[in-house]
């Protein structure tokens, strides 16, 4: 096959890029070693920034987010057993949307299928060669046949275990590890609150999120080596309840736990995000800890920049466009890295925290919720800096 852009990775980043390129009249082929079903059933984040929603609407992906998603005009920050509402609409005139990543994936896949997109799932042994000169992508299909795609550009949107990332020569790699992880559950229970609650407690962090009126998503800070099978439903509920407990008597509605897993938790950036005719997008180039829900949104922001860069390079023959990609994308990446790191360190308990550290953290949270300047920064970052 010959195409203009070969996209390795058919998750939200790869599909969104393929869609935006299609809108610009540029052909692409998307490959992914997972099946559609595997991706569709992998639970990921649930919050879209304002401009992620606009991207889905304005580029003609789907308006299902308006019908099946839920606008959230604020969040609660809870500590010392008291909730403090951060009112996004009052502070910055923006909202975020509860709309699971799996639904974003389903909508993007449906749009590409509707528009005749070339999507190849369930492949194996993908490899990229000659990415500085004439890129080739080879892979094996489900019937063990080898295929070759020749393209003008290759995009690595192949997630945190990217094969494309390693093709970048002499990269800088920036890491930050955290001494904890998240235990995530899906539970069949009624909602406990109308919006999300981010809780700091003496027993560690907890996040109360939602999926549908009858299915809820919750997370709590745990040890990095925690085994989810060691936890009974009762033990999970007891842990969540004590983290949200307070003098206001707030408690969670409980129900059967239908899914559980321990989430990876780290910060990572690779620079540059381009080498020759290969460009990286999303988790292939960077990972954020989940606090603040920036991962998917950051991938979509990369793709917005990347679609512009690719269009200028391929349609307007602007050779300098590719050179601008890394610096344009990384400006936002580092803002999101800071935001995610800040939300994480402000709300989690570090196992080696001293009394000073704990009281300083409460001082920071008190500043945040009592200062309009502090709350405004949170509202701005959470609902998302504008796409350019
Ligand atoms: C969800 C996940 C997050 O990491 C977050 O900050 C907010 C919500 C979620 O899965 O609903």
pLDDT surpassing 80 at residue 388 = no
CA torsion through residues 191, 192, 198, 203, sign: negative
| CB of residue 154 inside a 6 A radius of ligand 1 | no
What's 123's DSSP letter? -
Contacts of residue 92, Cβ cutoff 8 Å, sequence gap at least 6: 376, 379, 380, 383
pLDDT surpassing 90 at residue 188 = yes
**Neighbour tally for 352: CB within 10 Å:** 7
Mutate to test the pocket of ligand 1, among 208, 289, 293 (most ligand atoms within 8 A of CB): 293
Confidence at residue 373, expressed as pLDDT on a 0 to 100 scale = 98
pLDDT in tens, 16-60: 999 999 999 999 999 999 999 999 999 899 999 999 999 999 999
User: Which atom of ligand 1 lies nearest, measured to the CA of 44?
Assistant: 10
pLDDT in tens, 106-138: 999 999 999 999 999 999 999 999 999 999 999
Q: Does the complex come out with an ipTM higher than 0.95? A: yes
Ligand 1, atom 9: nearest CA belongs to which residue? 46
pLDDT in tens, 246-296: 999 999 999 999 999 999 899 999 999 999 999 999 999 999 999 999 999
Confidence at residue 319, expressed as pLDDT on a 0 to 100 scale = 81
pLDDT in tens, 360-380: 999 999 999 999 999 999 999
Is there a catalytic annotation at residue 12?
Answer: no
The rounded distance, in Å, linking the Cα atoms of 296 and 304 is 13
Ligand 1, atom 11: nearest CA belongs to which residue? 46
Point out the catalytic residue in the list 72, 131, 286, 348: 72
Ligand 1, atom 2: nearest CA belongs to which residue? 45
Q: What is the mean pLDDT of residues 233-242?
A: 98
| CB of residue 10 inside a 6 A radius of ligand 1 | no
Is there a catalytic annotation at residue 377?
Answer: no
CA torsion through residues 239, 242, 243, 245, sign: positive
Is there a catalytic annotation at residue 382?
Answer: yes
Point out the catalytic residue in the list 139, 219, 325, 382: 382
pLDDT surpassing 90 at residue 384 = yes
**Average model confidence (pLDDT) across the chain:** 97
Ligand 1, atom 5: nearest CA belongs to which residue? 293
pLDDT in tens, 294-314: 999 999 999 999 999 999 999
Is there a catalytic annotation at residue 325?
Answer: no
Confidence at residue 264, expressed as pLDDT on a 0 to 100 scale = 85
Two structure tokens written together for 15: 């599909």
């Amino acid at each position: 096959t010959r195409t203009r852009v070969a996209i390795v990775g058919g998750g939200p980043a790869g599909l969104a890029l393929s869609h935006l390129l299609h809108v610009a009249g540029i052909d692409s082929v998307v490959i992914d070693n997972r099946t559609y079903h595997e991706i569709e059933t992998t639970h990921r984040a649930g919050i879209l920034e304002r401009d992620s929603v606009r991207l889905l609407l304005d580029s003609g992906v789907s308006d299902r987010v308006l019908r099946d998603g839920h606008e959230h005009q604020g969040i609660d920050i809870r500590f010392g057993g008291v909730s403090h509402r951060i009112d996004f609409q009052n502070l910055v005139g923006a909202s975020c949307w509860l709309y699971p990543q799996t639904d974003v994936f389903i909508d993007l896949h449906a749009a590409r299928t509707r528009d005749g997109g070339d999507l190849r799932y369930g492949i194996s042994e993908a490899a990229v060669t000659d990415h500085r000169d004439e890129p080739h992508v080879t892979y094996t299909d489900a019937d063990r046949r080898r295929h070759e795609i020749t393209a003008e550009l290759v995009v690595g949107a192949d997630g945190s275990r990217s094969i494309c990332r390693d093709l970048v020569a002499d990269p800088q790699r920036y890491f930050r590890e955290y001494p904890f992880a998240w235990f995530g559950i899906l539970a069949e229970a009624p909602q406990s609150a109308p919006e999300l609650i981010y809780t700091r407690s003496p027993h560690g962090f907890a996040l109360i999120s939602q999926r549908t009126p009858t299915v809820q998503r919750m997370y709590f800070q745990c040890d990095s080596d925690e085994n989810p099978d060691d936890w009974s439903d009762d033990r999970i509920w007891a842990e969540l309840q004590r983290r949200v407990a307070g003098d206001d008597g707030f408690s969670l509605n409980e129900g059967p736990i239908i899914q559980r897993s321990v989430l990876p938790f780290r910060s990572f950036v690779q620079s540059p995000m381009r080498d020759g005719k290969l460009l990286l997008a999303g988790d292939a180039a960077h990972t954020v800890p989940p606090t603040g829900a920036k991962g998917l949104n950051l991938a979509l922001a990369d793709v917005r920049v990347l679609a512009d860069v690719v269009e200028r390079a391929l349609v307007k023959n602007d050779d300098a466009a590719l050179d601008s990609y890394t610096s344009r994308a990384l400006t936002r990446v580092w803002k999101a890295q800071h935001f995610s790191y800040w939300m994480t360190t402000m709300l989690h308990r570090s196992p080696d925290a001293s009394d000073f550290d704990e009281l300083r953290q409460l001082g920071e949270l008190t500043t945040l919720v009592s200062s309009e300047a502090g709350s405004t920064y949170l509202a701005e970052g959470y609902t998302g800096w504008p796409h350019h």
